[in-house]
């Protein structure tokens, strides 16, 4: 991705820099929330970051359209995805953005893993079953993943079609990434 981006002359490098700054704030807020054991003050700070990022991204899209690889590179599309993925307070916006990411994926500008994660996020918000088994409920301390999968064999076929690792491996990886750090 970055190698392909280096070959591009980005038309909106300032937008890429702003995306990078906003994603850094997003990730810092999420790290603080995890480190604090989901303390209320950190949850509120994260909600504020998410709301500000959503307002900003919606304004960008309303003014200039959805970011493209020629504007911000594939890396910039991945950063855009992260902000959309965390825009849970506006599920319809996430659904609309999913269509844009599907188009970018179809032409090789956007990753399968991110597409699967946003697809499941949108399906889950609409009360549907996950297609790829990517979404966990970390805040409650409960893994709801299997509760929202209707057909495990179908989920595995969907994952394989996108070139994703098997669901059991993904679940283990996510647990290792999210488990509390022992001191």
> Percent of the chain, pLDDT > 90?
72
Alpha-carbon gap, residue 183 to 168, rounded angstroms:
27
**Helix or strand holding residue 84 (H, E):** helix 69-85
What pLDDT shows up at residue 121?
93
pLDDT tens per residue across span 76-129: 999 999 999 999 999 999 999 999 999 999 999 999 999 999 999 999 999 999
Provide the pLDDT confidence category of residue 146 given band limits of 50, 70 and 90: low
**DSSP H helical segments within 36-151, as ranges?**
40-64, 69-85, 91-106, 112-125
List all residues 6 or more positions away from 139 whose beta carbon is below 8 Å from its beta carbon. Answer: 38, 43
With beta carbons less than 8 A apart as the criterion, state whether 132 and 119 touch.
yes
List all residues 6 or more positions away from 173 whose beta carbon is below 8 Å from its beta carbon. Answer: 165
- Domain ranges in the chain are 2-110
What pLDDT shows up at residue 176?
79
Q: What is the pTM of this model?
A: 0.86
**Res 65 pLDDT > 80:** yes
Q: Could you tell me which of 14, 15, 93 has the C-alpha nearest to residue 51?
A: 93
């Amino acid at each position: 991705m970055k190698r392909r981006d280096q070959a591009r002359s980005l038309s909106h490098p300032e937008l890429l820099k702003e995306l990078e700054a906003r994603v850094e704030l997003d990730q810092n807020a999420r790290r603080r929330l995890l480190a604090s054991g989901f303390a209320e003050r950190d949850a509120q700070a994260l909600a504020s970051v998410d709301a500000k990022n959503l307002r900003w991204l919606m304004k960008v899209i309303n003014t200039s359209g959805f970011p493209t690889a020629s504007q911000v590179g594939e890396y910039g599309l991945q950063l855009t995805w992260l902000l959309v993925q965390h825009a849970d307070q506006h599920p319809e916006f996430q659904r609309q953005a999913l269509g844009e990411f599907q188009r970018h994926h179809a032409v090789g500008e956007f990753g399968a893993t991110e597409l699967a994660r946003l697809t499941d996020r949108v399906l889950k918000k609409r009360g549907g079953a996950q297609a790829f088994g990517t979404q966990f409920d970390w805040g409650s301390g409960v893994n709801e993943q299997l509760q929202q999968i209707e057909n495990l064999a179908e989920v595995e076929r969907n994952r394989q079609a996108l070139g994703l690792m098997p669901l059991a491996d993904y679940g283990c990886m996510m647990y290792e990434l999210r488990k509390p750090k022992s001191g």
